[in-house]
Amino acid sequence: MISTQEYAAIVVGAGHAGVEASLAIARCGFPVLVITLDTNAIARMSCNPTIGGLAKGHMVREIDALGGEMGLAADATGIQYRMLNRSKGPAVWAPRAQADKKEYELYMKRALLSEKNITLKQGEAVEVIVRNGSCCGVRTKEGETFFGKNVILTTGTFLQGLIHVGEENYPGGRRDEPPAVGLSDSLRSHGIELVRFKTGTPPRLRENSIAWEILEEQRGDNPPPLFSYRTKNLKVEQLSCWLTYTNTMTHEIIRQNLHRSPLYAGRITGIGPRYCPSIEDKIVKFSDKEKHQIYLEPEGRGTDEIYVNGFSTSLPKDIQDSALRTIRGLENAEILKFGYAIEYDAAPPTQQKHSLENKNIKGLFLAGQINCTSGYEEAAAQGLVAGINVINKLRGRPEFVLDRTEAYIGVMIDDLVTCGTNEPYRMFTSRAEFRLLLRQDNADMRLIEHGYKLGLIRDDVYHEFKNKRDRIHRVMKVLKEKKHGQLSLYQVLKQPGKTYKSLISNELCSYNLSDEEILFLETEIKYEGYIARQMADVRKFKKIEKRKIPGSINYDLIPGLSREAKEKLKKVKPESIGQASRISGISSCDLSMVAISIEKTLKSEKDK
């Protein structure tokens, strides 16, 4: 059957990337078809029941400032909220929430169903339709053909998914869910390179089989730190998480059975995440460690399943059981679901532009784990950027690209499309050169203007933001003008131990600000010198980024350019000298040759 309707966009997959992409496009008035294998698994949390964390929490706040949904969903369905790294500098403070997994799914499904411009369809896309270098639709396993001006693939771990548990392996895209078969062959037939990656998940335990009374309790923060600038007055009864540790007995059982691990027996060929290793990897690679942290996290209010954070594994079921029972508090633990590893196809992201559109096939966008990333937040951010770029394309506007000075989202996408990755990419604060400017407390200051201009931020939200910004500016002005002895209040606040609330309590200032506004104000004042230094670095960065590389450049004709440089520049197709400088293997000499060639070409064209 061939559909007679042409959609503005077809989104394949309804995970964290697919949801953000489809909501953004639909909210801007364009019809979207969402095709997913299971309409009851919208934005399902395949692994941990957590949103946010180090750098990831920054991205969730950025998604929110741009008008995305993840922050609102996390606030609405959270069961525990914490601000991580409070003992360190504000650049690395990061909000994190335990979410009720089922409620999160239901929230996101309601969000999709409430959008009149979204058509949600259960099915399996097996082929992308490409005509004259442009993607114009998909065909499904069920024999249906759908046409759209743009196609966004957000397939997660489902492409040719293969699940491993000990000596067993079987096709699957996620626990108890089938893989997507056929689409990989279609992508390869259109020249898209695919690689094999791997990830995994830990066992789930029955709540009443755990000896909670002997474990270390981890409570949430009160009041709860929120993700969304649009969430007001959240009151919630928070649930605790609990800490325990592996021990030498645990490690010995795992070591003795490594030959039964598909990872170490050679049955898994996909490359796994370096920064979220399996328990087998931890025992082997950190053999000097006598213990590893294990966090026991509730998966929701209406379930007795407990997530064993830190024990991702694909060991056989009997070994998972015996190893877990050596851990304090888990001596009588009952496993409800066993851990597993999953291999899947992914597309090296150097094949995409910063807009996440494929460099060779117009109208084909890739977002999420198909771009070799890991994590819900990384996926959601990519989905939103892909969706925004579809919107701009439909409106005839330029590509929407966040650079490395604006957002962690910009850092991630630039890393992916410029440098690529040989393992599942995860965001860290250390990846950002300008992280003091990219704090979680100033995401709205950095990005909400973008969201408003795109039409993804409502008028009332934007006006509230402007009022907040004006309040902070007024207070900043007062602090600079008002004296306390020989010093201005601005200078007083710079001193160690001085806080804005102490100025109010001493009746030196009378402007009331929210805790969030105070955090922003104090950070801007106390770190003024460091911020000024980073701003100077930003100006240098932007100067290099402005030196654009023409799309018509022929690297083979540039004298003195190394063979390695020619190969990598032709593959990545950098858009600026700055982007070219971040490609591994490109030397300063290579950059000079490219810059000289561009100058000569421009001069020649000018003389004509």
Cα–Cα distance list, 67 to 14, 150, 306, 314, 568 (Å): 18, 21, 32, 38, 36
Residue the block writes with tokens 């117009």: 362
The candidate with the shortest Cα–Cα distance to 581, out of 422, 416, 350, 418, is: 418
Amino acid symbol at 509: C
Q: Which residues are within 8 A (CB) of 604 and not within 5 positions of it... i.e. 6 or more apart?
A: none
Tokens of 14: 């309804």
SS (H, E, C) 87-100: CCCHHHCEEEEEEC
**Whose structure tokens read 């697919």?**
18
Which pTM was predicted? 0.94
16-27 vs 101-113: helix axis angle to the nearest 10?
A: 30
At residue 608, the pLDDT reads 62
Q: What is the pLDDT of residues 371-387, one digit of tens each?
A: 999 999 999 999 999 99
Q: Write the single-letter amino acid at 22.
A: S
* Domains defined along the chain, listed by start: 2-198+344-454 (3.50.50.60), 204-340 (2.40.30.260), 459-538 (1.10.10), 547-607 (1.10.150.570)
Copy the structure tokens of residue 446.
């950095």
Distance, in Å, from the CA atom of 214 to the CA atom of 322, rounded to the nearest integer, reads 20
What token pair was written down for 497? 């131990």
User: How buried is 103 (Cβ within 10 angstroms: 0-12 exposed, 13-18 middle, 19+ buried)?
Assistant: middle
Contact 520, 441 (CB under 8 A): yes
What is the pLDDT, as a whole number, of residue 562?
86
Residues of the chain with pLDDT under 50: none
What pLDDT is stored for residue 199 in this prediction?
94
230 and 74 in contact (C-beta within 8 Å)?
no
CB atoms within 10 A of CB 52: 30
Measured in Å, how far apart are the chain's first and last C-alpha atoms?
Answer: 55
437: Cβ–Cβ under 8 A, 6 or more apart, which residues?
405, 446, 531, 534, 535, 538
